[in-house]
Amino acid sequence: MSRSALIAILPGDGIGPEVTQQAVRVLREVAAQGGHQLAFEQGLIGGAAIDAEGSSMPQQTVSLCSRADAILLGAVGGPKWSDPEALVRPEQGLLALRKKFGLFANLRPVCPNPRLNDASPIKPEYLDGVDLLVVRELTGGIYFGDKERGEAHASDTCRYGIHEIERVVRLACALAQRRRGKLTSVDKANVLETSRLWRATVDRICGKEFPELEVEHLLVDAATMHLLTRPRDFDVIVTENMFGDILTDEASVLAGSLGLLPSASLAQSDGDHAFGLFEPIHGSAPDIAGLGVANPYGAILSAAMLLRHSLGLDAEALRVEAAVDAAIAAGALTRDLAGPGGVTTVAVGDAVIAAL
């Protein structure tokens, strides 16, 4: 069955426009082959929006995203806008998007490609068979709590309501049901009251609603170690906002490059698919912006997640993921993976489309 949808494209800063361009090329090819009617409209966010509109998320962008079925984002930020005392910063636009559209859960799959094991600093024997998914709560915790700063002190309040914990835990459990049936909850319950509430909520929901799952609790400091020393033992990891931010970047080391990994930030849904924002996990990489060497695989795989989670096109998502594997097998590797002999950003897009 054909699908019609509007995709909001927010290229952002640095290499964002370069990698999103290749992801859009792939989406257009998928649409053409499958008879889907996908429309694309571009908006401003981050530093580019500050320069043009004085706001990191202009009202025009909000309106565009409100009309869209999903959002594909590149990256935001860069040294040009890095003054910590600035009243408007690029990252505020991304946080505002999450809050505006209720994007409460961030999904980051990590499944290292065996052909790229040498690109990771982790020993290959630790990487074989690794296939994990981190589910990070995205709208609560210390990032959104009350903040105060004086000349000699500062404070950031970490606050969680039980509803915020319940909804992300239920999503993580549902995802674990479809995978290998194991859930690892990461917290700091030996110190933090928010973590004690988190752990109690996980036990209640898993015990009553998902008794078939294997559930373990890990303190965040132990989780950071085990993620690198026994990564294949993990299936689905669920954790709060700040811990998830840290752990997902650490997990990217397993894959060998930040440029390889996608992410999805999803809103609540009662159906089979949800409104979401999809973006590669890497930053704006201003040092290589405009050189045509950025790795677009993370953006292309984010487009695959968009097809699966927001448009309900799982078969098309699988085809994109298979095409990425084929392109990598064919040697279409940018310089972060292949060194000076790496191919261009556009050449990777060409290789994925050829594989499709």
**Catalytic site positions:** 143, 188, 221, 245, 249
Residue 115 in tokens: 């052909």
Give the span between the Cα atoms of 39 and 167, in whole angstroms.
Answer: 31
Sheet architecture: strand order including 182-187:
37-42, 4-12, 70-75, 276-280, 262-266, 105-110, 132-137, 236-239, 182-187, 214-219
The structure tokens listed for 213 are 């799952």
CA distances from 159 to 7, 192, 193, 201 (A): 33, 11, 9, 15
Residues 6+ apart with CB under 8 A from 226: 218, 233, 234
User: What residue ranges in 70-140 does DSSP mark as E strands?
Assistant: 70-75, 105-110, 132-137
- Cβ contacts of residue 71 below 8 Å, gap of 6+? 7, 8, 10, 65, 97, 276, 277, 278
What type of residue is 189?
A
For 194, counting Cβ atoms within 10 Å of its Cβ (0-12 exposed, 13-18 middle, 19+ buried), the class is buried
What tokens appear for 332 in the block? Answer: 């279409």
Instruction: Give the HSE-up count for residue 199: Cα atoms under 13 Å, Cβ half-sphere.
Output: 16
Q: Which residues contact 193 (CB under 8 A, 6 or more apart)?
A: none
SS3 325: helix
